[in-house]
């Protein structure tokens, strides 16, 4: 994720959210100082795999993702800010043990009165992209999804 030398700045804009949600493969993840510049101490974070409260827990979740993967990328698409609510549509790629997993998704951010992110909610399909590429399990997952779609 790109940032100025001083880190991400407030108030958040469409461009600063694009910067926050941009991390090419091979680039470093944001530093804790960069996250702290835009996230409130009492931030709530939730995605399909976890729910965490507080800035330290959010930082641990981000660190854990980076440590579990050989590399991570994040590419933003549509970005919208409406008052104290922002949405970012994105694609995330995770390389783990030679396999690339790609997750299209979106994030809803709620900002507090100071413009800091106080609630971060990620929406994406975890099961399909995670298990579809895995031999044997992938076929079962595709079959199971078909039961609900057809």
The answer as to whether 102 is a domain residue is yes
Whole domain around residue 93: which residue ranges?
14-125
Q: How many folded domains does the chain comprise?
A: 1
Is 117 inside a domain boundary? yes
Q: What is the pLDDT of residues 50-60, one digit of tens each?
A: 999 999 999 99
Residue 147 lies in a domain: no
- The CA-based angle 125-68-76, given to 5 degrees, is 50
CATH at 93: 3.10.450.50
Give the single-character DSSP code of 7.
B
Residue 150's pLDDT band (boundaries 50, 70, 90)?
A: low
d(CA 35, CA 21): 12
Residue 81 buriedness (CB in 10 A; 0-12 / 13-18 / 19+): middle
Share of the chain above pLDDT 90, in %: 79
| Interval 24-70: pLDDT, tens | 999 999 999 999 999 999 999 999 999 999 999 999 999 999 999 99
């Amino acid at each position: 994720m790109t940032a100025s030398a001083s880190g991400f700045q407030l108030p958040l804009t469409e461009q600063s959210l694009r910067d926050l949600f941009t991390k090419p493969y091979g680039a470093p993840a944001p530093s804790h100082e960069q996250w702290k510049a835009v996230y409130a101490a009492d931030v709530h974070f939730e995605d399909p795999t976890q729910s965490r409260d507080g800035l330290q827990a959010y930082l641990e979740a981000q660190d854990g993702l980076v440590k579990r993967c050989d590399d991570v990328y994040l590419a933003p698409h549509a970005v919208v800010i409406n008052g104290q609510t922002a949405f970012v549509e994105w694609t995330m790629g995770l390389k783990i043990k030679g396999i690339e997993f790609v997750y299209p998704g979106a994030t809803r951010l709620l900002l507090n009165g100071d413009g800091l992110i106080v609630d971060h909610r990620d929406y994406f399909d975890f099961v399909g992209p995670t298990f579809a590429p895995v031999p044997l399990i992938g076929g079962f997952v595709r079959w199971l999804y078909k039961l609900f779609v057809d």
